[in-house]
Amino acid sequence: MNWYKKAKQAKKLENVELKGELKQTKNGFVYLDLPNNLINGLFAIIDENNISKPPYNQKKYNSVGAHVSVMYEDEVKDKNLEIKEIGEEFNFSLGELKSTKPEGWDEVDKVYFLQIDSPELQDLREKYGLSKKLNGHEFHITVAVEKS
């Protein structure tokens, strides 16, 4: 049995209360900044072949580190939004560990992620006229990737 199924069955990560700081990149991407140690700790227990840490620190990913995506650049630019809550802390709880084949990420066969629950982030999106969910997906933290 692999690591995320074990953790999911044990439910040790669900309902853990955490918080992060809301930040925005120069190009408008809004995200909840998290300590990289959160990902490092989870990654350390992965027992899968061909798995690597997410490419958070590469320039093409805005060098943001571990994070939860909150608003994409195009959402902010299309509505000419000025997010006043930048710098504030938002709470969330960890949900289920999952994996999927990501769309549009050709160099990755599978992505492992933790869903998170954050009514505060949903309310923030709605405040600015956006849907509660980002592209119809639950908020999440990418933990690991399996490259092609």
What digits encode the pLDDT tens for the residues 47-59? 677 888 887 655 4
What digits encode the pLDDT tens for the residues 63-119? 788 899 999 999 999 999 999 999 999 999 888 878 888 888 888 898 888 899 999
- Reported confidence tier of residue 61, pLDDT bands at 50, 70, 90: low
Question: Which amino acid, 30?
Answer: V
Residues 6+ apart with CB under 8 A from 33: 20, 21, 22, 23, 64, 65, 66, 67
Residues 6+ apart with CB under 8 A from 48: 2, 3, 144, 146
* CA angle (144, 108, 115) in 5-degree steps: 40
- The pTM of this model reads 0.83
- What's the rounded mean pLDDT across residues 10-28? 77
- Residue 9 neighbours by CB distance under 10 Å: 9
The CA distance from 67 to 56, in Å, is 8
